[in-house]
Chains A and B, each alone.
Chain A
Amino acid sequence: MTRATVPEFDEFEVSVFGPGRGECILVHLGYNEWCMIDSCVERGKSFPAAVEYLKELGQATLDGVLLVLATHWHDDHIGGISASLREFTNAQFACSSALGQQQFLTLVQLQMKSLQGNTGVDEFGEILKILQERKLRGIHRTQVTPVWAIQDRQILHRNQSGRTFQTTITALSPSDVTVKLALNKIANLMPQQDQLQRRITNRPPNEASVVLLIEVGNRRALLGADLEHSGHAGEGWIAILNSSQCVQPAQIFKVAHHGSSNADCPDVWQKLLDPNPIAVLTPFTSGKGLPQDNDITRLKSRTLNLYCTAQLKAKLPKRDHVVEKKLKDRKRFAVEGKLGHVRIRWSATDAAAVPRVELFNGAFRA
């Protein structure tokens, strides 16, 4: 089975990449038009996962990327996103409207003056540099000014003459309430005068994640980002369920927040998804990690079609015997493993067509 085959012009493709910590979703919208949601890089590779894959498919596909969207700025979702945007010269950049606020931009500028690496904030700083460069080169402002995602905003719509089906990308989150909450948390991350310089390692706020509904012809994918289920009105999945945008249920689901129980909302499966949707999850390696065994059991009770990009536990690297001896009693986990790839392809025009799910590089059916 080879990866290097270009989808048909009317084929909806959702490719989910995940190395164990990090995720990237690449979607073929038809007619060689693509969008990339979040980004990750496989250790030792020259380019981010989506760029590597599209280079395999051919240069023309890189030119077809219309949108790069960061669901939020955590390092496991944004690794290599600036390098991707550099490669995708025709792409607009989109992100949560919470990130366009003065507070976050100040945080980014401060971090760019200090320690960089593994924070997500510095990737965002690089994005701002790319957009400034585009402005200086006189590139049209649609590719300079970010698209700010907020609940119920249409991010992209393709319906040119000659197309036999429509494509629409709609943001289902963040809600106004969650943007406000996210800004409060961002304010808490702001360094204070006389505070020692440090990397930003705090992980809030997931509530400002951008959940997307992508519709290509009759096919629909719900991409859950890291949105959690607080149970409070106006926040998280409750805010989406109360919105009117999801008229038709989706057949494909990128499971929210690595399958964690605090992102699981039964009504999402009942109201926003078809029965037994194709569900893909990306693991998150940490001390305990996500998903746990009970998360897998719960998700398997929701769908018969659950796929995972990588194993939760990655192998630790081998080092020379003196070093290994020193390390043998130490508690440690490898953060990244092999970059698995789940690819779903499905004709957007043939109503009788069935989806084709392909698994590459260690991805598996749970």
Chain B
Amino acid sequence: MENALPDTYLTGQPLKADTFLQMQSSVKMSVPEANLPFSNGINEGLSETAADSQKLPQKPDYLDYLVPPPIVKIDRIGSVSILRPRQQWEGTVVECQGGSFVARVNDRTNPSNSDELVTFEIEEVSPEDRQLVQPGATFYWTIGVEQSPARSIRNVEIVNFRRLPHWSASSVREAEQEARSIAQVLFLE
């Protein structure tokens, strides 16, 4: 597919500060973390402000959240790729159909847009993440422009699945206990 990317973009592993650094940007990320694109995991370990000011358009403060910060990848030999997201969604798989799956996606770039039901091919997901593609699994879907170490530019599309923890016996027990206590308090049992 056209969106073939360096493996580290596609692994679905949480992005670490030593691998991905947020570019300096003139755009203040002045909204709460929950409203930022790449929140809930993808921003982990990344700073919230910085300064690559010449390259990003100036926008009024209230539109800050519409401009996702660029993501920089530095590989083992020090080559730098920059991904400038233009559009991001958070998706939840609702149905798996053999070689494809349907997901409900929520627009993180412009939250006033309607959610959409979108069909993805399984090949769009990295091999390591394919086992995660099950109803209820969540992922980030990004369309952006990538600048390679050789400074060539291409449009890319990334589907990056979230790896959430497993349910533990203790969390299930805790929930059962909370449910019992709610029933006692509210339902006069």
Minimum distance in angstroms from B69 CB to a CB of chain A: 17
Interface assignment of B25: CB less than 8 Å from any CB of chain A: no
Q: In the complex, which range does the number of interface residues on chain B fall in?
A: 35 or more
Contact between B114 and A334 (Cβ–Cβ < 8 Å)?
yes
Question: B187's contact among A113, A146, A325, by CB below 8 Å, is which?
Answer: A146
Q: Say yes or no: is A266 at the interface (Cβ < 8 Å to chain B).
A: no
Task: From B10-18, B42-50, B74-82, B128-136, give the one contacting chain A.
Answer: B128-136
Q: Mostly helix, strand, loop or mixed at chain A's interface?
A: loop
> Is A141 among interface residues, defined by CB-CB distance under 8 A?
yes
**With the chains together, A146 CA to B167 CA distance in Å?**
29
Let me know if A83 is at the binding interface, CB within 8 A: no
Asked if B179 CB lies within 8 Å of chain A CBs, one says yes
Pick from A132, A193, A200, A337: contact of B186, CB under 8 Å: A132
B164 & A323 in contact (Cβ 8 Å cutoff): no
Q: Which residues of chain B are within 8 angstroms of A287 by Cβ–Cβ distance? A: 102, 117
In the complex with contacts A146-B186, A191-B172, A332-B119, A197-B114 CB distance below 8 A: no
B87 touches A (CB below 8 Å): yes
Partner of A332, one of B93, B118, B135: B118
Quick one: given A132-B186, A145-B188, A201-B94, are A191 and B116 in contact (CB under 8 Å)? no
Segment with Cβ contacts to B, from A101-109, A154-162, A165-173, A354-362 = A101-109
Of B134, B136, B180, chain A has the most CB atoms within 10 Å of the CB of B136
B165 at the interface (CB under 8 A from A): yes
A138 to chain B, nearest CB (A): 13
Partner of B135, one of A202, A316, A323: A202
Question: Does more than half of chain B's interface fall in helix, strand or loop, or is it mixed?
Answer: mixed
Measured between beta carbons, the chain A residues less than 8 angstroms from B155 are 322, 325-326
Complex Cα gap A231–B103 (Å): 32
CA distance A135 to B165 in the complex (A): 34
Q: How many residues of A contact B (CB 8 A)?
A: 55
Interface positions of B from 123 to 164, Cβ below 8 Å from A: 132, 134-138, 143, 145, 155, 157, 164
- Assess the A326–B167 pair: CB atoms within 8 A: no
Query: Are B138 and A326 in contact (CB-based, < 8 A)?
Result: no
A201 with B172: CB separation less than 8 A: no
- Is B54 engaged at the interface, CB distance under 8 Å to the other chain? no
Once the chains bind, are B112 and A322 in contact (CB under 8 Å)? no
A196 to B86, CA, bound (A): 30
Neighbouring A residues of B135 by C-beta, 8 Å: 198, 201-202
Q: How far is the CB of B130 from chain A (nearest CB, A)?
A: 14
A293 interface residue (CB < 8 Å to B): no
Residue-wise interface mask of B (161-186) relative to A, using a CB-CB cutoff of 8 A (1 in contact, 0 not) = 00011111101101110111011011
**Are A196 and B157 in contact (CB-based, < 8 A)?**
no
A130 CB to nearest B CB, Å: 10
By a beta-carbon cutoff of 8 Å, the part of chain A in contact with chain B is 43-44, 100, 102, 105-106, 108-110, 113-115, 117-118, 128, 131-132, 135, 141, 144-146, 191-202, 285-287, 314, 316-317, 319-320, 322-323, 325-327, 330-337
